Amino acid sequence: MFSFSMPELVVILVIALIVFGPGKLPEVGKAIGKGIQEFRRASNDVMNPKEEPINIEAKATTEIKQPEEKK
């Protein structure tokens, strides 16, 4: 995809450190990692959808009660 040499990676990391600061940088990295993971999972689901069987024999869970007769 992209090929970065070591000096280019160092420059990118220094710029990220200046912009986000040392306290926020781990949180930003974690958020980016989760975003990439979700993107890969979604793209895999689109390419290979999992077919789930549909339950045709669904039964009613409630009974219909007849109105009581007045005495």
- The pLDDT of residue 35 is 94
- What's the CA gap between 41 and 44, in Å, rounded? 5
Give me the DSSP letters along the chain. -----HHHHHHHHHHHHHHHHHHHHHHHHHHHHHHHHHHHHHHHHHHSPPP------PPPSSPPPPPPPP-
- Give the model confidence (pLDDT) of 1-40 as tens digits: 568 799 998 998 899 889 988 899 889 889 999 999 999 9
Q: What is the pTM of this model?
A: 0.49
Question: Residue 67's pLDDT band (boundaries 50, 70, 90)?
Answer: low
- Give the model confidence (pLDDT) of 57-66 as tens digits: 655 555 566 6
- The pLDDT of residue 3 is 80
